[in-house]
Amino acid sequence: MTTGTTTSRALAEASPVGAAAAAGTVPATAPGAAGPRTGATSSGRRKRRSPRDVLLRASVPTAILALWFLGSAQGWIDEKQFPAPWQVGSAFVELVSTGVLWENLSVSLGRVAVGFAVGGLLGLTLGVVAGLFRLGDQLLDPTLQMLRTIPFLAIAPLLILWFGIDERPKIIIIAAAALFPLYLNTHSGVRNVDRKILEAGKVFGLRGLGLVRHVILPEAIPSVLVGLRVSLSVSLLALIVAEMSNAPRGIGFLMVSAQQYFQMDVLVVCVLIYAVWGLSVDLVVRLLERVLLPYKRLGRKP
């Protein structure tokens, strides 16, 4: 009977936040709040997973990998339709050794870095301004809420007509993608700071900038981090689309040319790179949460 309870607990502990963010949706709760409440709150450490737990968690991915190996070796999977693991491996090694991978990956990373820096900073700044000041809200929010309803990918053809196929349309699409999740979450985070805590701040002598610095921004950080997570995931999507239309370099270009030459193995390598990218984004945000919100992992109350 113990088996049943252990498994259901393992299921319940799987983080819903990461999955939701990866799907591009905003989780209803603040990050961390939805996470599992493990024991050992006094020491503040997460409970160590038991070996049995780790084994169970690893079992399904391992089984899928094993099936892939077996299927390819036995010829159940048609090589022309889907390459064998070792083919993907050797394609990866070749892409790395010839420098092709890094040449294209660095271009893609650069695009997201610039696009995200521009769009993210803009979204953060506008969100803080519109959240703090009534005038800012009146001037910015209606426009941004309207623009937000335009799917950013829909403006790609327009941008290509305006700017050609150089870097500008790609960076603009990524920036536009990154801007809105950060704007929306920062705006609502700043807006929805508990009025009662604001009042306490005022009673104890905080005014203006002091109130912003010591109460409003710290209280808004959980919401900003949700925005950051969604922003980073969405800018990856924007990158893929931007690079697949007329890019001379980049992971997207690598994919398009692999498609033209039926290089299935290279295609799969590219997909895996995107997957690792998405995973790293999630890890970075989790790390930021740990640094910026140390109290979220503790706590009696969710």
Window contacting another protein (CB under 8 A); options: 88-96, 172-180, 202-210, 245-253: 202-210
Q: Work out the number of other CB atoms within 10 angstroms of the CB of residue 213.
A: 11
Stretch that binds another protein, among 5-13, 92-100, 167-175, 200-208 (CB under 8 A): 200-208
* Radius of gyration of the chain from its Cα atoms, rounded to whole angstroms: 23
| Out of 142, 157, 210, 248, the residue judged to bind another protein by CB under 8 A | 210
List 2, 61, 99, 204, residue binding another protein (CB under 8 A): 204
Please give the angle made by the CA atoms of 123, 124 and 130, to the nearest 5 degrees.
Answer: 85
Closer of 53 and 219 to another protein (Cβ): 219
Q: Does 294 bind another protein (CB under 8 A)?
A: yes
Q: Which of 121, 153, 206, 256 binds another protein (CB under 8 A)?
A: 206
137 and 147 Cβ atoms separated by less than 8 Å: no
**Binding residues for another protein, how many (CB under 8 A)?**
27
Given 200, 272, 276, 283, the residue binding another protein (CB under 8 A): 200
Among 214, 248, 276, 284, binds another protein (CB under 8 A): 214
Among 2, 196, 208, 291, binds another protein (CB under 8 A): 196
Q: Let me know: does 183 contact 145? Beta carbons within 8 Å.
A: no
- What Å distances lie between residue 10 and 5, 6, 31, 102, 301, CA to CA? 9, 6, 19, 38, 21
Burial 144-173, CB ≥16 within 10 A → b, else e: beeeeeeebeeebeebbeeeeeebebbbbb
Query: How many Å apart are CA 227 and CA 27, to the nearest integer?
Result: 10
Binding mask 15-44 for another protein (x = CB under 8 A): --------------------------xx--
- In the numeric block, the tokens 């950080």 are attached to 221
Output the CA torsion sign for 59, 60, 63, 69. Answer: negative
What is the 8-class DSSP label of residue 38?
A: -
> How far is the C-alpha of 294 from the C-alpha of 285, rounded, in Å?
13
Q: Please identify, among the stretches 53-61, 76-84, 183-191, 214-222, the one whose residues bind another protein according to the rule CB under 8 A.
A: 214-222
Q: Are 111 and 242 in contact (CB under 8 A)?
A: yes
Stretch that binds another protein, among 90-98, 182-190, 280-288, 290-298 (CB under 8 A): 290-298
Nearer to another protein, 111 or 296 (CB): 296
Point out which residues bind another protein (CB under 8 A): 41-42, 194, 196-197, 199-206, 210, 214-215, 218-219, 221, 293-296, 298-301
